Structure 1
Amino acid sequence: MKHYCNGRPATADDLAGAVVNYGHFTSLQVRGGAVQGLDLHLRRLRQGTTELFGSTLEGSQVQAWILAALQAEGVVDASVRVTVFARGFDFRQPLQVLPVDVLVAVSAPVTLPATPRRVRSVVYQREMPELKHVGTFALFQHRRLALQAGFDDALFVDGQGRVSEGTTWNVLFGRGDEVVWPQAEALRGTQERLLQAGWGGGAVLEPVTLAGLGRFDAAVACNAAGVWPLAAIDGVGFARSEALCERALGLLAETPWQPLG
């Protein structure tokens, strides 16, 4: 994985500033120099910068830095992570309005296979779930514990018993021909937004509880790297998850890719 900071190869000092646990990011897949939902990724970065640092971030500048990093690596297909931080951030003076630094990491492209997975539920609520912030310790630890217990991943449920999101993915459910998105506080992913736009009025938003999972016959997970069916959540199986996954993949196949250049 190669890193570029503010449009130039990252130095040790750049990376030292980025390890402070205060910042936000987005992860995206690039194919042929283009990104699905590029505008959504850039909007996420702008909003996070205003929220955490009180400053602005020009989407066009971020776009140019991503493109420059890809050109430096000589690739048009890649996985890219864009992290926004501030080397001048001081936790003792967190109200300072600071110029931000942008770290672009380029690695090999990834497409997660549409392999059915079994997940277990965990009562957990991310801090400030609306932000894709760098506080990811609990996400990875819950996934690790789920794997140790014989599952493929973990699904988060809030204190009211409502399904919210997976460790690094969103979830949707099927009920006959109806598509249901769970109504709870969660990070609203770019892939989720694209699928919601594709389904349009054909999808509904409602609270989904663990006790009510038996009302659904399908469940699908999604993030920027792919879409995959959920075979079961805890002991509840979903017979039509693979069919719903195929529908979702079909919608994404019709979603245009936005060029970086």
Structure 2
Amino acid sequence: MSVALINGQPASADDLRALALVNYGHFTSLQVRDHAAQGLELHRQRLVAGTRELFGTGLDFDSVRAQMREAVADTPDCTLRVTVFSRSFDYRRPSDDYAPDVLVSLSPASPPRTLPLTVKSFDFLRPLPQIKHVGTFPLFHYRRQAIASGFDDALFADGNGLVSEGSIWNIGFWSQGGVVWPEAPALRGTAERLIQAGLERQGVGQQIRPVSLAELAGFEGAFACNAGGIQPIAMIDETPFPAAYEGMARLRAAIAAPLWEAL
């Protein structure tokens, strides 16, 4: 699977040079099934807001959506990524005005992730956490360190021990029949927002509040969520959690509820 379009045209090596060398831009990723996806409006909001913040200009999402449709024309099931960058961006003059370019690329569909995760915490907060930017080096570096220590992935906390987010996922905790979401600087994921809306429709209580690493043993369960779905967390550092608990069925129902919209 090698589809990569820039502004609707097949991408060349020269087209991708700026993205590879300058590494200034932002993106969103979504699962596509039968040419449809969940939460398209959330992805639109993310792309428009990121383009405004990084490039100071708007983004024609109708055009982006047309490019997405073109990219998946022969691939109904896939992982689709939309990256916004600028081939003309010059790091020596970052404050100049640059027209954004749109890269639409495909990779194989991601199957649901169901195996429980073990995660190791690190003191780290992403710069500009509200943007899903292409500066992913520290995310993968800490993930690599976690794996080297015998864990599956990395969880981030601020210098005061407050939980923020995982390497490429958000985290939530099940407590007394509801969900506690950490209040901290983090990328607010599309899956997180879909789950929150789904739980609200079910009448499941939710809180957004600071969550300390020191209080983790008091929760009944923990989970990770991103575009790949929901995954139970079996351990954070030395604190274990059950892989199956009352809330997991509620969570899976919440993420399954949103309609799949045709691209």
TM over 0.5: yes
- Taking the aligned partners of 2:245 and 2:17, their CA distance within structure 1 comes to 44
- Taking the aligned partners of 1:221 and 1:242, their CA distance within structure 2 comes to 14
Q: Does 1:55 align with 2:78?
A: no
RMSD in angstroms over aligned alpha carbons?
1.2
Q: Does 1:178 align with 2:178?
A: yes
Q: Note the C-alpha offset of 1:198.
A: 1.1
- Taking the aligned partners of 2:4 and 2:101, their CA distance within structure 1 comes to 13
Q: Does 1:167 align with 2:170?
A: no
- Taking the aligned partners of 2:107 and 2:40, their CA distance within structure 1 comes to 18
Q: Structure 1 residue runs of 4+, over 6 Å off?
A: none
In structure 1, the partner of 2:31 is: 29
- Taking the aligned partners of 1:88 and 1:161, their CA distance within structure 2 comes to 41
**Correspondence 1:84-99 to 2 at 5 A:** 84-99=84-99
Q: Does 1:216 align with 2:257?
A: no
Q: Alignment partner of 1:120: what SS?
A: strand
Q: Note the C-alpha offset of 1:246.
A: 2.6
- Taking the aligned partners of 1:105 and 1:191, their CA distance within structure 2 comes to 20
Q: Note the C-alpha offset of 1:242.
A: 4.7
- Taking the aligned partners of 1:247 and 1:237, their CA distance within structure 2 comes to 21
Q: Does 1:101 align with 2:101?
A: yes
Q: Alignment partner of 1:249: what SS?
A: helix
Q: Does 1:11 align with 2:17?
A: no
Q: Note the C-alpha offset of 1:255.
A: 1.2
In structure 1, the partner of 2:72 is: 70
- Taking the aligned partners of 1:228 and 1:242, their CA distance within structure 2 comes to 12
Identity across the alignment (%): 49
Q: Note the C-alpha offset of 1:117.
A: 1.1
Q: Alignment partner of 1:143: what SS?
A: helix
Alpha-carbon contact 1:217-1:241 (below 8 Å) kept: no
- TM-score (structure 2 length as normaliser): 0.95
Deviations along 1:165-186, one digit per CA (max 9) or x if unpaired, are: 0000000001120210000000
Q: Note the C-alpha offset of 1:241.
A: 4.9
Deviations along 1:105-125, one digit per CA (max 9) or x if unpaired, are: 112111232111111111111
- Taking the aligned partners of 2:153 and 2:220, their CA distance within structure 1 comes to 20
- Taking the aligned partners of 1:23 and 1:240, their CA distance within structure 2 comes to 37
Matched residues, number: 258
Q: Alignment partner of 2:31: what SS?
A: strand
Q: Alignment partner of 1:126: what SS?
A: coil
Alpha-carbon contact 2:122-2:157 (below 8 Å) kept: yes
- TM-score (structure 1 length as normaliser): 0.96
Alpha-carbon contact 1:231-1:241 (below 8 Å) kept: no
